[in-house]
């Protein structure tokens, strides 16, 4: 999967590039809006990671121009702005997703993968692990062909774990994904949701890695 990063912060841009490259992405990193627009005009990408605070042009204006000329490449916006109206405006201007700094790299990778699947229309059948099927398009869960009712946040946590099966996700990364824009979160909120998931899906699916987080093991 080929990803264009438009980010002027050297430390952040280098960090994202290294992480994505280590996980199999092909990365093109541009440090300003002008060179980023040139890259998108002449090269093909599966998704774009766009910082809104660029040194030469506002990232929001860049995004709006892309959409006006008919470019449908999925765009994940990075910004320190956390107000609701900022998020709504970015999505209205054509952003496909929105991630607030600071963020967890596991969540960034998961969101990029989700954008790619959405763009490729890969949500119809869902993801299966053993007798469990999770469909993010319809937000439904089947266990041994039986429907399981989950709350919205329970589903979000399960989906992240299934999407990243074989990888430990920290409590913080799950918390940021589920409560990213909430003002306050109970310290044991994720543990409570995990407890409910285990009660509904069985205790053996989600494993606790003590002191680190949670994992759903890959099936062979």
Q: What tokens were used for 55?
A: 């040194």
Q: Which of 50, 106, 54, 45 is nearest to 72 (CA)?
A: 45
> Could you read off the pLDDT tens digit of each residue along the chain, which spans 220 residues?
899 999 999 999 999 998 888 777 899 999 999 999 999 989 999 999 999 999 999 989 899 989 888 888 999 999 888 788 888 888 888 999 989 888 888 788 888 888 877 776 544 457 888 889 988 767 889 999 899 999 888 988 998 899 888 989 998 888 877 775 445 667 888 999 999 999 999 989 999 999 999 999 987 6
Q: Is the dihedral of CA 49, 51, 57, 60 positive or negative?
A: positive
Q: What tokens were used for 132?
A: 């469990």
**List of domains in the chain:** 2-120 (3.40.50.2300), 127-215 (1.10.10.10)
On whether the pTM is more than 0.85, the answer is no
Contact yes or no for 143/132 (Cβ under 8 A): yes
């Amino acid at each position: 999967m080929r990803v264009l990063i438009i980010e002027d912060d050297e430390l952040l841009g280098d960090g994202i590039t290294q992480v994505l490259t280590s996980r199999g992405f092909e990365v093109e990193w541009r440090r300003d809006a002008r060179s980023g627009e040139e890259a998108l005009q002449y090269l093909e990408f599966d998704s774009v990671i766009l910082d809104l605070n660029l040194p030469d042009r506002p990232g929001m204006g860049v995004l709006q121009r892309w959409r006006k000329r008919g470019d449908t490449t999925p765009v994940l916006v990075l910004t320190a702005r956390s107000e609701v109206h900022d998020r709504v405006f970015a999505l209205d201007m054509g952003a496909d997703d929105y991630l607030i700094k600071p963020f967890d790299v596991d969540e960034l990778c998961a969101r990029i993968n989700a954008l790619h699947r959405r763009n490729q229309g890969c949500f119809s059948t869902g993801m299966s692990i053993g007798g469990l099927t999770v469909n993010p398009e319809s937000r439904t869960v089947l266990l041994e062909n039986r429907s399981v009712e989950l709350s919205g946040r329970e589903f979000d946590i399960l989906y992240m774990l299934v999407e990243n099966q074989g990888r430990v996700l920290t409590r913080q990364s799950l918390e940021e994904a589920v409560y990213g824009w909430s003002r306050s979160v109970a310290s044991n909120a994720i543990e409570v949701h995990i407890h409910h998931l285990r009660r509904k899906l069985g205790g053996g699916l989600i494993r606790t890695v003590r002191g680190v987080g949670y994992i759903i093991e890959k099936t062979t």
